[in-house]
Amino acid sequence: MKSDDLRQKLGKIDYQLIKLLDERLELLLKWQRLQPDQPAPTQSALPDSFHRLVQGILDQDFYHRIYQEIAGESEKLLSKDYRLIAFQGEHGAYSEMAARVWNDSLIPIPCAEFTEIFEGVEKGIYDFAVVPVENNTGGIVNQVNQLILNSNLYVVGAVELGIHHCLLAPRGTDYRELHAVYSHTQALEQCRQFLARNKLQPIPFYDTAGAARMVAEEEPPSAGAIASKLAAELYNLQIIKENIEDFPHNITRFLIFSREANPEKGEKCSITFSTAHKAGTLFRVLEVFARQGINLTRIESVPDLQGHFAFFLDFEGDRDAPKVQQVLEEAQKITTRFRLLGCYKEKRQN
């Protein structure tokens, strides 16, 4: 074994240690929300059952001191009462990037499924949720929009994020040796022309950042990942090429949800509603907005759980503006299952 190989293995272990510590702290933050009346298991000493794992290379007191330090820092973290924002995927996901754009003082917590995000906010485990609702090239995110229809959460913010994909690989990789690329199906589709030009085999993975993490930890032969620049930084991967998406104006819109409505003045509102199965009913709703000169920025139809269609509509204005209040009152009278999702400000990052 060469010294370079040893150095690479040491770096990988150091990376894993840091990531495991971060994951441990995230679990403690979730514990604190789930069991607010019980002290979190920060542990100031090495558990007795772990003594058999100590190989004797270092004195056991050293491991106890490490645990004491971890416990002390954990207690400091828990005492600060940070606010948490949940996102779907692994760290480095585009949803996490959107969360940082919206409010970089929040602690982003990864979740495996969108349902886990909504349930977590409803139960108070997380303060906020950030979810993608539509992409200008890939269309709407059906699962998320259906979850919104059946949720009582409020929209308190939005982010339009420019999606810039990167081809990533373990450090030291010769790009000429790459033959396959892992990523989410949507990311693979958005880079289809790039993959074809470079004769790279696309391999679907559950998440872009998850693909980056897998490539970093498992180093599958001749394989890379398509993910964000943030994922490259978090997983210590080499950026082979940036901005590999086929269309330069690739934008995903994210909504921020909370259990409480946004108390501040907004610039955009979101509503959902259904209409009777009669010709012209949707036109009547849109006509209400047109008469007041209110600009619509989004209208989408989504099937609900009953097999009917519900509509999402976004428009410019603050809910307290007289003409907006009038429009909301009129629209509610000619629709069913009407709900004002929220009034909020939208941030943009290209």
Same domain (yes/no): 260, 329: yes
Which of these, 270, 262, 267, 194, lies nearest to 226 by C-alpha position?
194
The answer to whether the CB of 313 falls within 8 A of the CB of 298 is yes
Q: What is the pLDDT of residue 50?
A: 66
* Residues annotated as catalytic (active site), given as ranges: 252, 254
Statement: residue 68 has pLDDT above 90: no
Same domain (yes/no): 99, 209: no
Same domain (yes/no): 45, 183: no
Statement: residue 14 has pLDDT above 90: no
Q: How far is CA 150 from the centre of its chain?
A: 20
What's the CA gap between 172 and 178, in Å, rounded? 12
Same domain (yes/no): 237, 177: yes
- Average pLDDT over every residue of 162-186: 95
H or E element, residue 142: helix 142-149
- pLDDT per position as a tens digit, 286-303: 999 999 999 999 999 888
Statement: residue 86 has pLDDT above 80: yes
- Average pLDDT over every residue of 100-107: 96
What's the CA gap between 100 and 263, in Å, rounded? 21
Give the CATH number for residue 313: 3.30.70.260
**Domain end position, chosen among 79, 106, 132:** 79
Residues 6+ apart with CB under 8 A from 83: 105, 106, 107, 127, 128
Same domain (yes/no): 141, 183: no
Residue 205, domain extent: 166-242
Same domain (yes/no): 227, 301: no
Residue predicted with more confidence, 332 or 56: 332
Same domain (yes/no): 238, 274: no
Q: Domain tally for the chain?
A: 3
What's the CA gap between 308 and 301, in Å, rounded? 10
Statement: residue 103 has pLDDT above 70: yes
Q: What is the pLDDT of residue 48?
A: 67
Same domain (yes/no): 153, 213: no
Q: What is the pLDDT of residue 188?
A: 96
Question: CA angle at residue 310 from 112 to 337, to 5 degrees?
Answer: 105
The answer to whether the CB of 271 falls within 8 A of the CB of 300 is no
What's the CA gap between 219 and 170, in Å, rounded? 7
Give the CATH number for residue 238: 3.40.190.10
Same domain (yes/no): 128, 115: yes
Mean pLDDT of the chain: 91
**Domain end position, chosen among 79, 105, 133:** 79
Statement: residue 243 has pLDDT above 70: yes
Same domain (yes/no): 94, 201: no
Statement: residue 183 has pLDDT above 90: yes
Q: With cut-offs at 50, 70 and 90, classify the pLDDT of residue 255.
A: very high
- Average pLDDT over every residue of 310-326: 95
- Average pLDDT over every residue of 73-96: 93
Q: With cut-offs at 50, 70 and 90, classify the pLDDT of residue 305.
A: low
What's the CA gap between 210 and 215, in Å, rounded? 9
Q: With cut-offs at 50, 70 and 90, classify the pLDDT of residue 36.
A: confident
What's the CA gap between 111 and 130, in Å, rounded? 11
Statement: residue 323 has pLDDT above 80: yes
The answer to whether the CB of 228 falls within 8 A of the CB of 93 is yes
Same domain (yes/no): 102, 220: no
Statement: residue 195 has pLDDT above 90: yes
Characterize 238-251 residue by residue with b for buried, 16 or more Cβ atoms within 10 angstroms of its Cβ, and e for exposed: eebeeebbeeeebb
Lowest mean pLDDT among 36-40, 112-116, 175-179, 233-237: 36-40
**Domain end position, chosen among 186, 209, 242:** 242
Same domain (yes/no): 67, 184: no
